[in-house]
Amino acid sequence: MRAYLDLLSEVRHRGIRKEQRAVLLSDHSRPGVRSLFGRQIRFDLADGFPLVTTKKMPFQSVVHELIWFLRGETNIAYLQKHKVRIWDQWADANGDLGSCYPKHWRHFAGPNGPIDQIAALVEGIRETVRNPHASVARRLLLTAWHPADMPDPSVPTGCHTLAQFDVTRGKLSCQMYQRSADMFLGVPFNIASYAVLVHLLAKVCHLTPGEYIHTFGDAHIYENHLEQVDEQLTRTPLPLPTLKLDDSIDSIDDLDISQFGLEGYRSHPALRGEVAV
């Protein structure tokens, strides 16, 4: 995870201080950020599963959130059932989020009705495997940004905005563009989530996981996280774990947490930080 830590350090020490809109629920203050624009980090998934080891990461929460995305649900009941609270602050009294990743991934609003981007992506990858000259090979896209369906800027939807996938020599790779990136709390979660997605898609399409490439627009650290970031940067990374997917997985649908395993994960202690909403 050296690439992530190097970028975290760069943002910490070279980032430009900016004001921003989000507030802390604890005292309603609005922390500033240290911010850099336009960066990229890469992970060869053959080197291990890119789960941060310089602080303890909740792997099961990562997987549950991804399963929820893939279920296409916009209510957080599934997450709450599995004690995942990361979306609680943005849901309404009924637990609904409205425009969010599950909706755009599985029910993207089109002029002729909803579009299941995940199903189309799986079919496009399979078509590319069958025919490398297929036009879809350069159109393996997954978008979470729909300007007409995002009237409320208080909902952090579309932060990880666009992912493009590539099939080369039997390997599936992914590059994700993140317009807004909370380097301490959000990005380690995002890296792990998209790495799991690459593994899943590779498995159901009979490919080998290749690279995960993470491209950033605004990469920032909230100032109420600076102490934790400083502590994290003193820690030495540990060997990466291995992701194990159960052989029963043959579809991107109807997934269960029991089908995901993580072997050899060792980490430094957890570092907590309050999220700005």
Per-residue pLDDT at 151: 63
Return d(Cα 22, Cα 181) in angstroms, integer. Answer: 13
- 202-231, pLDDT tens digit by residue? 999 999 999 999 999 999 999 999 999 999
Q: Is residue 277 part of a domain?
A: no
CATH number of residue 184's parent domain:
3.30.572.10
- 63-100, pLDDT tens digit by residue? 999 999 999 999 999 999 999 999 998 899 999 998 89
Q: Is residue 234 part of a domain?
A: yes
- CA distances to 52, 108, 124, 275 from 229, rounded to whole Å, are 13, 36, 40, 14
- 144-168, pLDDT tens digit by residue? 998 887 666 666 678 999 999 999 9
Report the pLDDT averaged over residues 29-42. Answer: 97
Q: Is residue 36 part of a domain?
A: yes
Per-residue pLDDT at 148: 81
Q: Is residue 269 part of a domain?
A: no
Q: pTM for the whole thing?
A: 0.96
Q: Is residue 99 part of a domain?
A: yes
Per-residue pLDDT at 147: 86
Q: Which domain holds residue 149?
A: 2-263
Return d(Cα 142, Cα 60) in angstroms, integer. Answer: 23
Q: Is residue 276 part of a domain?
A: no
Total number of domains in the chain: 1
Per-residue pLDDT at 155: 64
Q: Is residue 268 part of a domain?
A: no
Q: Is residue 38 part of a domain?
A: yes
**Pairing label, strands 171-182, 208-222:** parallel
Per-residue pLDDT at 154: 61
pLDDT at 35 over 90: yes
Q: Is 174 a catalytic residue?
A: no
Buried (b) or exposed (e) across 154-174, using 16+ Cβ within 10 A?
Answer: eebbbbbbbbbbbbeeebbbb
- HSE of 177 in the Cβ direction (CA atoms, 13 Å)? 12
Per-residue pLDDT at 200: 98
Report the pLDDT averaged over residues 255-270. Answer: 98
Burial class (CB in 10 A: 0-12, 13-18, 19+), 226: middle
